[in-house]
Amino acid sequence: MALREIVTSPNPVLRRKARPVKTFDGKLQTLIDDMIETMRVAPGVGLAAPQVNISEQVIVVEYGDDEDEEVPPKLYVMVNPKITRFDTETELGVEGCLSIPGLVGEVERSLAVTVKGQNRHGQPMTVKAKGWLARIFQHEVDHLEGVLFTDRATSVWKPEAPVEDLA
């Protein structure tokens, strides 16, 4: 595994629609392993392949419920993810992004989503996410469409203190 450089805005790869993955080979497995390590070291709770300058539909998400510290965070690896269901109930929340350092913003997102895609070996998978996990998935899938949180934010600002849990 190796750390990859996280590209920052205005790098054009962040604005491109990522290509679907068709080949589940060793190169993809290396990319996924590198993305997991890069996300953890950053530290972040999610990372999309375009953030490491690879325009492919791959995301990694690692999130645990802060209220239950006994349960370790769960790692999700999803290839070619698509959000197939958005809850109609939404909520404003503060988001940051590893590719937009130094800024956060308030973004309205669905409280629950269903995400369908493939696991790292090409097998179909579905994730039903709620709350903060749903927000992370929406943020990461947006990256695959060339959309940044600042595009959706109702307001953006520079925080006074460091922000944790960046996607």
Catalytic residues: 140
Tokens of 81: 């993810």
Nearest to 111 by CA among 140, 88, 143, 85: 88
Nearest-CA neighbor of 77 among 43, 29, 44?
Answer: 29
* Cα separation, 153 vs 155, whole angstroms: 5
Closest of 94, 97, 117 to residue 106, by C-alpha: 94
